[in-house]
Amino acid sequence: MITLTAFRWVPPFAQGLVKDLRVRWALEEAQLSYRERLIGPEDQASAAYRAQQPFGQVPVIEEGDLKLFESGAIVLNIAERSDALMPKDAPGRARTTAWVFAALNSIEPAVDYLGATYHAEGEAWAQARRPAATEMVCARLDALSAWLGDKDYLEGRFSAGDLMMTTVLRNLRQTDLVAQRPSLAAYQARCEARPAFAKALADHMRPFEANAA
């Protein structure tokens, strides 16, 4: 049985965005059962948890001798077991891997930088940096939208690359930057309409609701 580590509670602004959601979604798409291990700040700081996740973050999965951290690595590990997340042919598998990395390396850093300016609302540095950060994100979104064109998914069929890209786009929910690009907004909505996503999101949110102050 796979054990997934997730937070028992996070502030509302982070709910629906914590990266265990990516893993839950992948597990649902792959139809792999799992149990959750909920942790808090005291667990994150413990030597036992740092032996599994050097930075004290989530998610971590444990399965027999396998102990794996970093959401991208975990999603790829799951995808390699499932035709639902990764094609069987070698070129298709390579392209899926490329899009997982594209989401994490080409899109997410720019999105996170822009997000930091919103979290620091009112501070001088945030106001000064937001225009350039917005321009950077828009350039990446325009390139992504151009690649997508009229395709339903990045490579024509849903894969782990689409799963990862959608979770990155969700981090722009405090803006209208995705909505300004109708094909990209439709793409995100299409991915989030999948039953596996709905189940993963509900399971992701349940501990926060149960442990609300």
> 171 and 132, same structural domain?
yes
pLDDT score at 213: 62
Report the share of the chain in percent with pLDDT over 90: 94
> 185 and 109, same structural domain?
yes
> 128 and 41, same structural domain?
no
Range of the domain at 78: 2-83+196-206
Domain-located, residue 213? no
Q: What is the pLDDT of residues 194-212, one digit of tens each?
A: 999 999 999 999 999 998 8
> 142 and 116, same structural domain?
yes
Domain-located, residue 150? yes
> 114 and 154, same structural domain?
yes
pLDDT average, residue stretch 71-78: 98
Domain-located, residue 137? yes
> 174 and 126, same structural domain?
yes
Domain-located, residue 211? no
> 112 and 73, same structural domain?
no
The edge-to-edge listing of strands for the beta sheet with 2-7 is 34-39, 2-7, 60-63, 66-69
> 94 and 56, same structural domain?
no
| Per-residue pLDDT at 4 exceeds 80 | yes
In sign, the C-alpha dihedral spanning 14, 71, 61, 157 is positive
Instruction: Give this prediction's pTM.
Output: 0.96
CATH number at residue 182: 1.20.1050.10
Count of domains for the chain: 2
Domain-located, residue 36? yes
- Dihedrals phi, psi of 204, to nearest 5 degrees: -65, -40
Q: What is the pLDDT of residues 11-27, one digit of tens each?
A: 999 999 999 999 999 99
Domain-located, residue 18? yes
CATH number at residue 50: 3.40.30.10
Q: What is the pLDDT of residues 141-185, one digit of tens each?
A: 999 999 999 999 999 999 999 999 999 999 999 999 999 999 999
